[in-house]
Amino acid sequence: MQSSILVGFLVGFGSLVVSILIESHFNFSAVTAFFNFSAMLIIFGGISGAIIVSYPVAHLKEIPVALKKSFAKFSDIEMVAMANELITLAQKSRQEGILALEAVLTDIKDDWMRRSLQLVVDGLDRKVVQDILEVELEEYSKKTRIGSKIFTALGGYSPTLGIIGTVMGLVHMLATLEDASKIGAAIAVAFLATFWGILSANLVFLPIAERTKAKDNQMIACRQAMIEGILSIQAGESVRIIEEKLKVFMIKDEIESFDTIRKSSGSGRSETQ
Task: Report pLDDT digits (tens) over 197-221.
Answer: 999 999 999 999 998 888 888 888 8
The Cα–Cα gap between 228 and 155 comes to 36
- Predicted local confidence at residue 74, as pLDDT: 55
- Predicted local confidence at residue 39, as pLDDT: 85
User: Residue 223 to residues 10, 141, 149: CA-CA distances in angstroms?
Assistant: 34, 10, 21
Q: Mind giving me the DSSP string for 89-156?
A: HHHHHHHH-GGGGGGGGGG---HHHHHHHHHHHTT--HHHHHHHHHHHHHHHHHHHTHHHHHHHHHHH
What is the pTM (predicted TM-score) of this model?
0.78
197 contacts 34 by C-beta, under 8 angstroms: no
Q: What is the mean pLDDT of each run of 10 residues along the chain (273 residues)?
A: 76 86 80 84 92 92 83 68 92 91 89 92 92 90 87 94 89 75 74 91 93 87 92 92 92 88 66 45
- Predicted local confidence at residue 2, as pLDDT: 64
* Residue 227, phi then psi, degrees to nearest 5: -60, -45
- Predicted local confidence at residue 269, as pLDDT: 46
247 contacts 71 by C-beta, under 8 angstroms: no
